């Protein structure tokens, strides 16, 4: 099992050093870096991570504040390891159930012990990769509501899903809009087969075979025109590279 890691630190040299150390671990893949809590939240909405290596002292929202916001989601993902130059935050760090607390400069043997602890936690099903493994037996349909009645929609009849405020809307291949209750777009993504559904934006999840056209948009981004609904769905900048890899774009 590979641990999918996100590094969050406002200092580029610190991110580079930690990436170097993590990439020496055979089963750790650094698939994201962020220089602020806000940027980290956008990345976590776009991709599932097993662990976030999180600096504490950052401008605006600090690492403790970000971890508290993550805890409110209630899904326990991703796991948190604090990496900081100061030891005075240790008690607060463990209040938010961090897996570990590493001091800079990070000692290689100390980091190895942390990675082993993460391996054990994820092996028990407490990580994003383990949760995504549920997609091996995905649901056959999702039930959407039109305000009064519920309608089961088979997966191949879904054009895309969109998060709007506190609600998630399902758009069928016929263009019908239904609301999904009591869930989030990230939770739905974990249920669905990743080879069929692509998270193109923090607020959008599209069915791959329903993408009819990929249109260049401003600032190097794209719009996806959906086959059945004919709606246009945006692709965020952070998802352009995965989009190109998925559809083999030059």
Is the same domain home to 17 and 115?
Answer: yes
Tokens standing for residue 47: 């991709």
Q: What is the pLDDT of residue 130?
A: 47
Percent of the chain clearing pLDDT 70 (strictly above): 88
Residue 225 pLDDT more than 90? Answer: yes
Is the same domain home to 80 and 147?
Answer: no
Q: Comparing C-alpha atoms, which of 218, 211, 219 is closest to residue 248?
A: 211
Q: What is the pLDDT of residue 69?
A: 83
Domain count, the chain: 2
Is the same domain home to 234 and 121?
Answer: no
Is the same domain home to 107 and 160?
Answer: no
E strands in the chain: 3-8, 28-34, 51-54, 79-84, 100-103, 141-145, 150-154, 158-164, 167-172, 177-180, 197-201, 204-207, 211-216, 222-226, 232-235
> Residue 190 belongs to what domain range?
138-247
What are 126-162's pLDDT values in tens digits? 555 444 444 345 677 888 888 777 788 888 899 999 9
Q: Determine the Cα–Cα distance for residues 200 and 247; give it in Å rounded to an integer.
A: 12
Is the same domain home to 67 and 164?
Answer: no
Among the candidates 116, 134, 152, a domain finishes at 134
Is the same domain home to 125 and 19?
Answer: yes
Among the candidates 134, 164, 196, a domain finishes at 134
Is the same domain home to 15 and 41?
Answer: yes
Is the same domain home to 188 and 92?
Answer: no
Is the same domain home to 153 and 97?
Answer: no
Q: What is the pLDDT of residue 165?
A: 78
Neighbours of 220 (CB within 10 A): 9
Among the candidates 64, 99, 134, a domain finishes at 134
Is the same domain home to 184 and 99?
Answer: no
Q: Comparing C-alpha atoms, which of 228, 163, 169, 167 is closest to residue 200?
A: 163
Band the pLDDT of 70: cuts 50, 70, 90.
confident
Band the pLDDT of 85: cuts 50, 70, 90.
confident
pTM above 0.85, yes or no: no
Is the same domain home to 120 and 167?
Answer: no
User: How far, in Å, are 130, 135, 137, 162, 166 from residue 159 at the CA level?
Assistant: 26, 18, 20, 10, 20
Q: Comparing C-alpha atoms, which of 117, 208, 195, 119 is closest to residue 160?
A: 208
Band the pLDDT of 67: cuts 50, 70, 90.
confident
Distance of CA 104 to the CA centre of its chain: 26
CATH of the domain at 154: 2.40.50.1020
Is the same domain home to 144 and 106?
Answer: no
CATH of the domain at 32: 3.40.50.2300
């Amino acid at each position: 099992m590979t641990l999918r890691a996100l590094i969050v630190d406002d200092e580029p040299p610190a991110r580079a050093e930690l990436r170097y150390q993590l990439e020496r671990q055979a089963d750790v893949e650094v698939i994201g870096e962020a220089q602020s809590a806000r940027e980290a939240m956008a990345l976590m909405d776009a991709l599932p991570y097993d662990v976030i290596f999180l600096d504490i002292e950052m401008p605006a929202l600090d690492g403790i504040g970000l971890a508290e916001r993550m805890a409110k989601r209630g899904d326990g993902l991703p796991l948190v390891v604090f990496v900081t130059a100061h030891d005075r935050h240790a008690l607060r760090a463990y209040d938010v159930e961090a897996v570990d607390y590493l001091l800079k400069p990070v000692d290689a043997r100390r980091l190895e012990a942390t990675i082993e602890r993460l391996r054990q936690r994820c092996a028990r099903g407490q990580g994003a990769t383990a949760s995504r493994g549920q997609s091996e037996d995905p649901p056959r349909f999702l039930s959407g509501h039109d305000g009064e009645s519920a309608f089961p929609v088979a997966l191949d009849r879904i054009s895309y899903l969109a998060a709007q405020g506190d609600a998630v809307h399902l758009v069928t291949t016929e263009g019908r809009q239904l609301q999904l209750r009591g869930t989030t777009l990230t939770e739905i993504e974990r249920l669905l087969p990743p080879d069929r559904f692509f998270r193109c934006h923090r607020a959008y999840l599209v069915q791959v075979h329903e993408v009819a056209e990929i249109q260049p948009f401003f600032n190097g981004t794209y719009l996806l025109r959906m086959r059945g609904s004919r709606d246009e769905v945006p692709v965020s900048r952070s998802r352009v590279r995965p989009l190109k890899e998925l559809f083999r774009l030059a």
